[in-house]
Amino acid sequence: MHRLELTKPDGRRLTLYGRSAIEAGLQAPSPFAEPLNASPHLRWHPLRGEWVTYAAYRQGRTFLPPPEYNPLAPTVSADNPTEVPAGRWDIAVFDNRFPSLGVAPGAEPPPRLIVPTEPARGQCEVVVFTQDPKGALGRLPLDHIDLLLQVWGERTVRLGERPEIQYVLPFENRGAEVGVTLHHPHGQIYAYPVVPPVPARMQQVAAEHLARHGRGPLEALIQAELSDRARLVYAGPHVVAFVPVCARYPYEVWVAPIRAVASFAELEPPERADLARALKTVLLKYDGLWQRPLPYLMAWYQAPTDGQVHPEMHLHAEIYPPYRTRDRLKYLAGTEIAAGFFAMDALPEEKARELQQVEVSLS
Amino acid sequence: MHRLELTKPDGRRLTLYGRSAIEAGLQAPSPFAEPLNASPHLRWHPLRGEWVTYAAYRQGRTFLPPPEYNPLAPTVSADNPTEVPAGRWDIAVFDNRFPSLGVAPGAEPPPRLIVPTEPARGQCEVVVFTQDPKGALGRLPLDHIDLLLQVWGERTVRLGERPEIQYVLPFENRGAEVGVTLHHPHGQIYAYPVVPPVPARMQQVAAEHLARHGRGPLEALIQAELSDRARLVYAGPHVVAFVPVCARYPYEVWVAPIRAVASFAELEPPERADLARALKTVLLKYDGLWQRPLPYLMAWYQAPTDGQVHPEMHLHAEIYPPYRTRDRLKYLAGTEIAAGFFAMDALPEEKARELQQVEVSLS
Ordered by start, the domain boundaries in chain A are: 2-195, 198-357
Instruction: Tell me which of B144, B184, B186, B316 is the catalytic residue.
Output: B186
Chain A nearest C-alpha distance from B231 (Å): 11
For residue B63, name the pLDDT band (cuts at 50, 70, 90): low
Show residues of chain B in contact with A199, CB under 8 Å.
Answer: 339
Q: Is the pLDDT of residue B135 over 70?
A: yes
Domain A2-195 shares a fold with domain A198-357: yes
- Mean pLDDT of the B304-327 span: 96
Count CB atoms within 10 A of the CB of residue A11.
15
Asked if A47's CB is within 8 angstroms of B218's CB, the reply is: yes
Task: Locate the chain A residue with the closest alpha carbon to B344.
Answer: A54
Chain B nearest C-alpha distance from A187 (Å): 10
Task: Locate the chain B residue with the closest alpha carbon to A338.
Answer: B299
Give the pLDDT confidence score for residue B177 in this predicted structure: 87
Window 242-301 of A, Cβ < 8 Å to B: 245-248, 297, 299
Quote ipTM for the complex.
Answer: 0.96
Mutate to test the interface with B, among A345, A350, A354 (most CBs of B within 10 A): A345
B272-283 pLDDT, tens digit per residue, is: 999 999 999 999
Q: Confirm if B201 and A200 have CB atoms less than 8 A apart.
A: no
Count CB atoms within 10 A of the CB of residue A263.
22
Q: Is the pLDDT of residue A133 over 80?
A: yes
User: pTM value?
Assistant: 0.96
The CATH superfamily assigned to A198-357 is: HIT-like (3.30.428.10)
| Topology, domain B2-196 | HIT family, subunit A (3.30.428)
**What is the number of H-type helices and E-type strands within chain B?**
5, 15
User: Which of the listed CATH numbers 3.20.20.140, 3.30.428.10, 3.30.465.10, 1.10.10.10 matches domain B198-356?
Assistant: 3.30.428.10
For residue B332, name the pLDDT band (cuts at 50, 70, 90): confident
Show residues of chain A in contact with B327, CB under 8 Å.
Answer: none
Asked if B344's CB is within 8 angstroms of A196's CB, the reply is: no
Chain B nearest C-alpha distance from A87 (Å): 30
Give the pLDDT confidence score for residue B64 in this predicted structure: 57
A167 touches chain B (CB under 8 A): yes
Cβ partners under 8 Å of residue A165, min gap 6:
A121, A122, A123, A159, A191, A192, A193, A305
Show residues of chain A in contact with B334, CB under 8 Å.
Answer: 169, 171-173, 188, 190, 297, 299
Distance from the Cα of residue A28 to its chain's centroid? 23
Q: Work out the mean pLDDT of chain B and round it to a whole number.
A: 94
Give the pLDDT confidence score for residue B184 in this predicted structure: 95
Q: Residue B325: what residue type?
A: T
> Among candidates B168, B188, B160, which has minimal Cα distance to B297?
B188
Show residues of chain B in contact with A343, CB under 8 Å.
Answer: 52-53, 55, 100-101
B20-34 pLDDT, tens digit per residue, is: 999 999 999 999 988
For residue A59, name the pLDDT band (cuts at 50, 70, 90): very low
**In whole angstroms, what is the distance from residue A267 CA to residue A149 CA?**
10
> Among candidates B81, B91, B226, which has minimal Cα distance to B154?
B91
Q: Confirm if A191 and A319 have CB atoms less than 8 A apart.
A: no
Chain A nearest C-alpha distance from B215 (Å): 12
Count CB atoms within 10 A of the CB of residue A311.
13
User: Which of the listed CATH numbers 3.90.1150.10, 3.90.850.10, 3.40.50.1000, 3.30.428.10 matches domain A2-195?
Assistant: 3.30.428.10
Q: Work out the mean pLDDT of chain A and round it to a whole number.
A: 94
Q: Is the pLDDT of residue A63 over 80?
A: no
- Mean pLDDT of the A40-66 span: 81
Task: Locate the chain B residue with the closest alpha carbon to A177.
Answer: B331
Q: Confirm if B66 and B142 have CB atoms less than 8 A apart.
A: no
**CB neighbour class for A134 (10 Å; exposed up to 12, middle 13-18, buried from 19):** exposed
Window 177-206 of B, Cβ < 8 Å to A: 178-180, 188, 190, 192, 194, 196-199, 201-202, 204-206
Give the pLDDT confidence score for residue A65 in this predicted structure: 64
| Catalytic (active site) residue A209 | no
Window 344-363 of B, Cβ < 8 Å to A: 344-347, 350
Asked if B334's CB is within 8 angstroms of A169's CB, the reply is: yes
**In whole angstroms, what is the distance from residue A27 CA to residue A8 CA?**
8
Long-range contacts of range A243-247, CB-CB < 8 Å, 24 or more positions apart?
A243/A348, A243/A349, A243/A351, A243/A352, A243/A355, A244/A348, A245/A221, A245/A348, A245/B43, A245/B113, A245/B114, A245/B115, A246/A348, A246/B43, A246/B44, A246/B45, A246/B46, A246/B47, A246/B52, A246/B115, A247/A344, A247/A348, A247/A351, A247/B52
Give the pLDDT confidence score for residue A67 in this predicted structure: 66
CB contact burial A99-112 (16+ within 10 A = b; e otherwise): bbbbbeeebeebee
Instruction: Tell me which of A41, A184, A186, A316 is the catalytic residue.
Output: A186
Give the pLDDT confidence score for residue A104 in this predicted structure: 85
Query: In this structure, what is the dihedral angle of CA atoms A10, A13, A17, A20, given to the nearest 10 degrees?
Result: 60
Distance from the Cα of residue A142 to its chain's centroid? 18
**In whole angstroms, what is the distance from residue A52 CA to residue A197 CA?**
11
Q: Confirm if B149 and B275 have CB atoms less than 8 A apart.
A: yes
